[in-house]
Amino acid sequence: MLEDLTQKLEKALNKVTGQGRISEDNISDSLREIRRVLLDADVNYKVAKKFIDDVKDRALGSEVVNSVTPGQLITKIFYDELAKLMGGTSYEMSINPNGITVILLVGLQGSGKTTFSGKLARYLTTKNRSVVLAAADVYRPAAREQLKLLGKQINVPVFSIDDSNDAVRIAKEAVVYAKENGANTVIVDTAGRLHVDEKLMDEVTAIKSAVKPSETLFVVDSMTGQDAVNSAKAFHDRVSFDGIVLTKLDGDTRGGCALSIKAVVDKPVKFVSLGEKLDTLEVFHPDRLASRILGRGDVVSLVEKAQEQIDQSEAEDLGKKLMSNKFDFEDFLKQIKMIKKMGSLKSIMGMIPGIGSAMKDADVDEKELVKVESIIQSMTREERKNPTVLNGSRRKRIAIGSGNSIQEVNRLIKQFKEMQKMMKMFNSKGGKKMLGKNFKKLRYN
pLDDT at 126 over 80: yes
Average pLDDT over residues 383-391: 89
Cβ-contact 305, 342 below 8 angstroms:
yes
pLDDT of residue 443: 40
Q: Which of 57-66, 92-101, 404-413, 417-426 has the lowest mean pLDDT?
A: 57-66
pLDDT of residue 67: 43
* CATH C-level class of 101-296: alpha beta
Average pLDDT over residues 228-234: 87
pLDDT at 287 over 90: no
CA dist list (Å): 80 to 55, 56, 75, 85:
9, 13, 9, 9
pLDDT of residue 251: 75
Q: Which of 13-17, 183-187, 279-283, 297-301 has the lowest mean pLDDT?
A: 297-301
Q: Which of 26-35, 178-187, 261-270 has the lowest mean pLDDT?
A: 26-35
pLDDT of residue 397: 94
47-70 residues labelled b (16+ CB within 10 A) or e (exposed)? bbeebbeebbebbeebeeeeeeeb
The CATH T-level fold of domain 303-444 is: 434 Repressor (Amino-terminal Domain) (1.10.260)
Phi-psi region of 155 (alpha: psi -120 to 50; beta: other; left: phi over 0): left
What is the rounded CA–CA span in Å between residue 70 and residue 20? Answer: 7
DSSP string across 299-313: HHHHHHHHHHHS-HH
Domain boundaries, the chain: 3-85, 101-296, 303-444
Residue bearing the bigger pLDDT, 119 or 248:
119
Residue bearing the bigger pLDDT, 35 or 250:
35
Q: Which of 16-30, 179-193, 257-271, 385-399 has the lowest mean pLDDT?
A: 16-30
Highest mean pLDDT among 231-240, 249-258, 413-422: 231-240
Average pLDDT over residues 264-276: 88
Cβ-contact 218, 234 below 8 angstroms:
no
Average pLDDT over residues 183-207: 87
Average pLDDT over residues 26-53: 86
pLDDT at 269 over 80: yes
DSSP conformational letter for 110: T
pLDDT at 377 over 60: yes
* Strand 281-283 to 269-273 pairing: antiparallel
Average pLDDT over residues 393-407: 92
Which alpha helices (H) appear in 106-225, and where do they start and end? Answer: 113-125, 143-154, 167-180, 198-211
pLDDT of residue 242: 93
pLDDT of residue 421: 75
pLDDT of residue 73: 74
DSSP conformational letter for 143: H
Mean pLDDT of the chain: 80
pLDDT of residue 21: 64
pLDDT at 303 over 60: no
pLDDT at 10 over 70: yes
For the packed helices 198-211 and 167-180, what is the interaxial angle rounded to 10 degrees?
A: 20
Average pLDDT over residues 355-361: 49
What is the rounded CA–CA span in Å between residue 346 and residue 193? Answer: 33
CA dist list (Å): 229 to 11, 42, 84, 92, 304:
27, 10, 18, 22, 30
pLDDT at 345 over 90: no
pLDDT of residue 136: 92
* CATH C-level class of 3-85: mainly alpha
3-state secondary structure of 104: strand
pLDDT of residue 60: 75
3-state secondary structure of 335: helix
